[in-house]
Structure 1
Amino acid sequence: MPKAVRYDEFGGIDVLRVDEVERPLPGDGQVLVRVKAAGINPSEAVIRTGAVADMFPSTFPSGQGSDLAGVIEEVGAGLNGFRPGDEVIGFSNKRASQAELVLVEAGNLTPKPEKVSWEVAGGLYVVGVTAWGAVHAVHPKEGETVVVSGAAGGVGSLAVQLARRTGATVIGLASEHNHEWLKSHGVIPVAYGDGVEDRIRATTPGGVDAFIDTYGDGYVELALALGVAAERIDTIADFAAAKRHGVKTDGGTAAGPGAKVLAELAGLIADGHLNVPIAHVYPLAQVREAYTDLERRHTHGKIVLRP
């Protein structure tokens, strides 16, 4: 029987387990995918704790995960365009991707380019569409300056690259051991922590035009202190500050059709124009260890599960 991540109640990492489950059967418009890689994300950990149960109610036992890449095993009735054996990138809206076999709506899939690895493809959806949405929310232009907090994280590492592609100057806030990676991608690194406002001002005498916050913890206020207009600040992490100050919270929900954005991002990766760092890869059975790693909030890039 196929295996899948499950939990029976809200709680910490210890509620997670890997169970044997019934083999899913694809219905109309659905595809059954054998998962080769599935990314993990901070939002899943928050949902699992029950902290946002009013926004994201759960039924138990609950599965987990959105990101996935794999090979199609079966195709439901009435579908054209996909067939068994096709390699695909996609996402599940059913909190189900951390599993060996997953039912996916055909509209949530796009072909996987040969040059994109399973790990990168499987961890692309959430961070990719979130970074895409955040960059488009602040609409940087050539000659402008954009600051990105958490610039070496899963979303941040893509946001800095996408912002650079607009021709803007990009400042990435990150710990010093990630500065060389940022420099290699055309980003000006600045260490976070005490004195960060002064360091940013010293780096950008002309001021800051836009700010993308992927981390939270006071960066919305920092952006305002730097003189950035509220409509050009986007946070994906500090919704309380966004409500107080009227800044944007655009991320994945602003990216438009997810499969279309996935196809665009996968094409950039295949052509060598976008790099997705993979921090660590864990077998599905070590899902608890993977989330322990994630919740330290110091990884460079994505953490991925391999069923």
Structure 2
Amino acid sequence: MEKTMRAAVIQKYRQRNLTLTTVPVPKIQETDVLVKIVAASLNPIDLKTRDGKLRFLLDYRMPLILGSDFAGIVEQTGSRVTNVHVGDAVYGRVQKNRIGTFAEYIAVDQNDIAPKPGNLTFEQAAAIPLVGLTSYQALNDLMQIKAGDKVFIQAGSGGIGTMAIQIAKQMGAFVATTTSAKNAELVTQLGADQVIDYHTTDFDRVLRNYDAAFDTMGGDLLQKTFKIVKPGGKIVSLPGLPDGHFAKSYGLPWWKQVVLWLANGSIRKLERETKVAYQFLFMKPSGAQLRIINQLIEAKKVTPMIDRVVPFSQIQSAVDYLETGRAQGKVIVRIADH
């Protein structure tokens, strides 16, 4: 008899409300583990996926279980799994073609998970993988931040911002960020050196000669960011358009690469005028990098910021709240008790 689980699914793109239903437990492959999920994290990418805004890059089959990162307990291992055992407490971010953490179980490759930090609850651990890996890959892999660099991080009180500020400070950077006045104390406690109230001040009027900037907003704010980074500096963007390097490395067909090249005309013009390099970041799962982040967490140098924890039965209220954009840190769904 096929084993089933509860899951929150959409039947079509732009379906506003998730449906809690019963679906088969995913089958594992040779290098996979089956994890019983204790907690899962909500992220803006879930909203974009739900609304079909990523279909140009990722067009999922329906019905679709949303959700990208999780913390839980290993219940089964594939025949070629070597570094994970049944009963292990783990956390991770699944590959983009294997999303589905808003469910009681997930099948995930052994290389995409890491041991849950010993000093975190499952809810706290679930808040880490996507924002932690995104921040680390932006700051370390793409920007190559070093001590003394000046870094601008947009939206410091959000899920990405609260993590990126902490990691940037551990790299020895001077950090400026934007937030509302009510969140200024929070981002200062996280380590921000200069806090700009975006309600009253345009960041591009007060910041200059930054080595790098982490754009989490896109649109006009991305274009303004080119004004504050010095020649030779770098901008890494999450919501901006994919660049040519990404399009090729991701293996997009030639016609999609052409579409992106044409759409990026204004960004390429800004790059030429300012001599600032632009890169689009589509984060990659990595158990190895999560282990690096584990060291910072267990040394209490990085702490997950959680706005609220919601029971699985009320996941729609969590989605609705995330959509308001008012969350301070992460919104977590508790899938199971432990």
Q: Same fold (TM over 0.5)?
A: yes
* Structure (1/2) with the larger strand percentage: 2
Pairs within 5 Å for 1:5-154: 5-14=8-17, 16-93=18-95, 94-136=98-140, 137-154=142-159
Once the two structures are superposed, what CA deviation does each residue of 1:94-150 show, in whole Å capped at 9, x if it has no partner?
111111111111121111121122112112221111111221222333333211111
Contact 1:142 1:167 (C-alpha < 8 Å) held by counterparts: yes
Secondary structure at the counterpart of residue 181 of structure 1 = helix
**Runs of 4+ residues deviating >6 angstroms:** none
Secondary structure at the counterpart of residue 264 of structure 1 = helix
Contact 2:10 2:65 (C-alpha < 8 Å) held by counterparts: yes
Structure 1 residue identity aligned to 2:197: A
Q: Partners in 2 of 1:185 and 1:195 — Cα distance?
A: 21
Once the two structures are superposed, what CA deviation does each residue of 1:145-191 show, in whole Å capped at 9, x if it has no partner?
21111111111111111111222211111111111112222212111
How much is the aligned-residue C-alpha RMSD, in angstroms? 2.1
Contact 2:212 2:229 (C-alpha < 8 Å) held by counterparts: no
Q: Partners in 2 of 1:262 and 1:268 — Cα distance?
A: 10
Query: Residues 105 and 92 from structure 1, CA distance in 2 versus in 1: closer, same or farther, beyond 3 angstroms?
Result: same
Structure-2 residue corresponding to 1:261 = 289
Contact 1:131 1:158 (C-alpha < 8 Å) held by counterparts: yes
Secondary structure at the counterpart of residue 163 of structure 2 = helix
Structure-1 residue corresponding to 2:256 = none
Q: Partners in 2 of 1:36 and 1:248 — Cα distance?
A: 38
Once the two structures are superposed, what CA deviation does each residue of 1:10-35 show, in whole Å capped at 9, x if it has no partner?
11422x11111223343311211100
TM-score, length-scaled by structure 1: 0.90
Alignment: residue pair count: 300
Query: Residues 13 and 249 from structure 1, CA distance in 2 versus in 1: closer, same or farther, beyond 3 angstroms?
Result: farther
Q: Partners in 2 of 1:287 and 1:176 — Cα distance?
A: 29
Structure 2 residue identity aligned to 1:265: I
Once the two structures are superposed, what CA deviation does each residue of 1:57-76 show, in whole Å capped at 9, x if it has no partner?
11111111110110011112
Structure-1 residue corresponding to 2:270 = 245
Query: Residues 198 and 38 from structure 1, CA distance in 2 versus in 1: closer, same or farther, beyond 3 angstroms?
Result: closer
Task: Give the fraction of aligned pairs with identical amino acids, expressed as a percent.
Answer: 25
Tell me the CA shift for residue 196 of structure 1: 1.9
Tell me the CA shift for residue 208 of structure 1: 2.4
Q: Partners in 2 of 1:237 and 1:133 — Cα distance?
A: 15
Pairs within 5 Å for 1:272-283: 272-283=300-311
Contact 1:7 1:60 (C-alpha < 8 Å) held by counterparts: yes
Tell me the CA shift for residue 261 of structure 1: 1.2
Structure-2 residue corresponding to 1:165 = 170
Query: Residues 135 and 60 from structure 1, CA distance in 2 versus in 1: closer, same or farther, beyond 3 angstroms?
Result: same
Tell me the CA shift for residue 277 of structure 1: 0.3
Q: For structure 2, list consecutive stretches of 5 or more residues without a partner in the other structure.
A: 242-263, 272-276
Query: Residues 245 and 194 from structure 1, CA distance in 2 versus in 1: closer, same or farther, beyond 3 angstroms?
Result: farther
Query: Residues 285 and 46 from structure 1, CA distance in 2 versus in 1: closer, same or farther, beyond 3 angstroms?
Result: same
Q: Confirm whether residue 182 of structure 1 aligns to residue 210 of structure 2.
A: no
Tell me the CA shift for residue 243 of structure 1: 5.5
Query: Residues 243 and 276 from structure 1, CA distance in 2 versus in 1: closer, same or farther, beyond 3 angstroms?
Result: farther
Contact 2:68 2:99 (C-alpha < 8 Å) held by counterparts: yes
Q: For structure 1, list consecutive stretches of 5 or more residues without a partner in the other structure.
A: none
Contact 2:196 2:203 (C-alpha < 8 Å) held by counterparts: no
Structure 2 residue identity aligned to 1:178: N
Q: Partners in 1 of 2:35 and 2:229 — Cα distance?
A: 48
Secondary structure at the counterpart of residue 107 of structure 2 = strand
